[in-house]
Amino acid sequence: MTHKKSGTKYRYRGKKITLGLIAARKGSVSVKGKNLIKIRNKEITKIAVNMAIKCPAIDNVILSTDSNKILNLIKKNKKF
């Protein structure tokens, strides 16, 4: 999934673009389901995505995940 806002820099039509990449794997060796753990009633992945979207230095946000639960959680976010 990508968002119009988003740190790798690349050029698009001559303009430098900054990407924000969020990697949210479902498998964790030490803490099972850590990307779905809630802090103040919000999942960690959702917090990371919202912060990346709000960051003025990021033009596009890319979420990389192998989890349908994480993908569905982020799809519910109206900003994405």
What the block records as the tokens of 5 is 């806002």
Give the pLDDT score at 1: 47
Place of tokens 């990449």: 21
Query: How far separated are the first and last CA of the chain, in Å rounded?
Result: 8
Q: What percent of the chain has pLDDT over 70?
A: 80
| Alpha-carbon span 10 to 24, nearest angstrom | 23
The model's pLDDT over 20-35, given as tens digits with 9 standing for 90+, comes to 999 988 877 788 888 8
Answer whether 0.85 is exceeded by the pTM. no
* Cβ–Cβ under 8 Å, residues 52 and 58: yes
Computed from CA positions of residues 68, 19, 56, 23, in that sequence, does the dihedral angle turn out positive or negative?
positive
More confident site: 35 or 11: 35
